[in-house]
Amino acid sequence: MAVWLAEQVGPTGHVLATDLNPVYLQRIDLPNLDVLEHNILEDSLEALGPGSFDLVCSRLMLFHLVNRQEHAIRQMVECLRPGGWLIDEDADWGMAAPIDPAHPLYDGYQRAWRNGDWWTVRGYDKVFGRKLPALFERCGLQDVRHEAATEAVRGASDWARWWTVTLEVFNDLGGGDESDRREVQLMSQALADPTMWFLRELLHACWGRRPA
């Protein structure tokens, strides 16, 4: 996203990319892109330049911040100039599941998945994406718009391989025990099967404008 935004604003524009750990961002060498280590929940906004941004963009980050999303959104709104826009993309992760109950691997996946509560017990908000328009409005944004999209894909597809790694990483981050690892293995077996169809996560995009 940082590279794409830098391409959009061109040589006369400026992009500031922030992260808790900017090690990957620091590999990017673009003249109109600066990188800053920053925690939107805890660090001072003065380092960012409150009230100065035409656009603030966040992607697949807020669902991590259970019960703190509204504070993060308010902080991002503070960074906007009057008339500036905030856009966030976040997902309903609980929707990512197999769709054919007749498949022999369906029941095993669903027992491990528990209707998406696999995410909840690890401390994540599985349905955060759908909450964005109400949160944006509550944080004072106007002209709020929202859209969402998903698709059905096969096991062994690019998405299925990405989803397998994602489940493994988040399980490790959550300190998963042997039982948790067996659940991931069970789901990974289904995700590797090209005869199985899955509905992807529902990806939400929401945008709103700070009052002029």
How confident is the model over 120-162, as pLDDT tens digits?
Answer: 988 899 999 999 999 999 999 999 999 999 999 999 999 999 9
Cβ 149 vs Cβ 176: under 8 Å: no
Q: What is the span of the domain harbouring residue 161?
A: 38-209
State the total domains in the chain: 1
Rounded to an integer, the average pLDDT of 177-200 is: 95
How many CB atoms lie under 10 A from the CB of residue 1?
12
Rounded distance between C-alpha atoms, residue 71 and residue 45, angstroms: 13
Picking from 204, 205, 201, 166, the residue whose alpha carbon sits closest to that of residue 187 is 166
What is the reported pLDDT for 122? Answer: 87
Rounded to an integer, the average pLDDT of 156-184 is: 91
What is the reported pLDDT for 175? Answer: 74
The answer as to whether 31 is a domain residue is: no
The answer as to whether 5 is a domain residue is: no
Go through 23-35 and write b for each residue having 16 or more CB atoms within 10 A of its CB, e for each that does not: eebeeeeeeebeb
The answer as to whether 24 is a domain residue is: no
Distance of CA 109 to the CA centre of its chain: 23
Picking from 146, 151, 157, the residue whose alpha carbon sits closest to that of residue 202 is 151
| Average pLDDT score over the chain | 95
Q: What CATH number corresponds to the domain at position 195?
A: 3.40.50.150
How many CB atoms lie under 10 A from the CB of residue 145?
12
The answer as to whether 118 is a domain residue is: yes
Rounded distance between C-alpha atoms, residue 98 and residue 95, angstroms: 9
The answer as to whether 171 is a domain residue is: yes
Angle of helix 178-191 relative to helix 158-173, nearest 10 degrees, comes to 180
The answer as to whether 85 is a domain residue is: yes
Rounded distance between C-alpha atoms, residue 10 and residue 32, angstroms: 8
What is the reported pLDDT for 203? Answer: 97
How confident is the model over 82-123, as pLDDT tens digits?
Answer: 999 999 999 999 999 999 999 999 999 999 999 999 999 888
